[in-house]
Amino acid sequence: MINRTTLYTLSLLLVLLGAAACSVEPKPVPYGEANCTHCQMTVSDNRYGAELVNDKGKPFFFDAAECLASYVIEQPEVSDKAAYLLVTDFTNPNTLIEVEKAHFLQSKELASPMGMFLTAVADEATATKMQQEYGGRLLNWEEIKEAVRNNEKPQ
């Protein structure tokens, strides 16, 4: 009898363990409690955080889109297999959007944590409106990576 009970308990716990471990989905960025995977600074500004979720569901947090881009450039073996690459929507703090769908504004007026002046928003209209207000240029993710690679800052 004990054996059966133990078996039941064990299998239940294993299932729990599995469930806890194996969901591949974006996790909220723990502002103030995690260090940026790339630059080690505290991830703290909830308008700029970024995240990479690997194929196994493990999240890596970044304090800014430029750090995510640098990491992707430096660690292709991790990022090629990544399930999600996410940045925070500047206009909706704490909301993550996929980098491919994000619109980036590089404007001298908006300083991001790691000095590349990159701001991400979810939709194009907002991006255009912000560009009119602050100046600068609009980029997509591929262009962001290129800009980070060449360390292009706004003049």
Partner 1 sequence: MRNLSNRIVVWPACAFVLLLTSLQAFGGTLKVCTTCAYTSVKQAVRQAKAGDVVLVDGGVYLESGIEITQPIRLIGQNNPVIDGNNSGQIITVSSDNVTVQGFTLQNVATSYTRDDAAIRVRQQNNIQILNNTILKTYYGIYLQYSDGIIIKDNVVKGENVGRTESSLGNAIHVYYTDDVQIIGNDVQGHRDGIYLETVKNSTVERNTSHQNSRYGLHFMFSDGNAYTHNTFRRNGAGVAVMYTTNVRMEYNVFEDNWGAASYGLLLKEINNSVIYNNTFRRNTTGIHMESSSRLDIKNNDFERNGWAIKLMTTCIDDTFRLNNFTGNSFDISTNGNAQHNYFEHNYWDKYTGYDLDKDGVGDVPYRPVSLYSMLIERVPPSVMLMRSFMVDLLDNMERVLPSIIPQNLVDEHPLMKKIDHDNNREFKQNLRQTASAPWRER
Partner 2 sequence: MNKLIKYVLYDIVRNKIIVAYTLFLLLLSIGLFHLGGSPDKGLLSLLNLVLLTVPLISIVFGTTHFYNSYEFMELLVSQPIKRSKIFLSEYLGVSLSLSAAFGIGVGVPVLLFAPGATGLFLLLTGIFVTFIFVALAFLASVITRDKAKGIGIALLLWFYFALIYDGLVLFVLYSFGDYPLEKATLVLTALNPVDLGRVLVLLNLDVSAMMGYTGALYKSIFGSGWGIAIAFAVMVLWVLLPLLSARRVFQKRDL
Which residues inside 122-151 make contact with partner 1, applying CB under 8 A? 133-134
Asked if 59 is part of the footprint of partner 2 (rule: CB under 8 A), the reply reads: yes
CA–CA separation, 146 and 142 (whole Å): 6
User: Pick from 26, 39, 57, 92: which binds partner 2 (CB under 8 A)?
Assistant: 57
Is the CA virtual torsion 113, 116, 117, 121 positive or negative? negative
User: Pick from 8, 9, 76, 101: which binds partner 2 (CB under 8 A)?
Assistant: 9
User: Pick from 7, 11, 13, 95: which binds partner 2 (CB under 8 A)?
Assistant: 13
Which residues inside 28-57 make contact with partner 1, applying CB under 8 A? 31-35, 39-47
Residue 71 contacts by C-beta under 8 Å, 6 or more apart in sequence?
37, 38, 52, 60, 62, 78, 79
| 58 vs 101 by CB, closer to partner 1 | 58
Of 42, 63, 54, the C-alpha closest to 81 is 54
Rounded to the nearest 10°, the torsion over CA 145, 74, 40, 144 is 0
Total binding residues toward partner 2, as defined by CB under 8 A: 20
Residues that bind partner 2 (CB under 8 A): 1-2, 5, 9, 13, 16-17, 20-22, 27, 30, 33-35, 54, 56-59
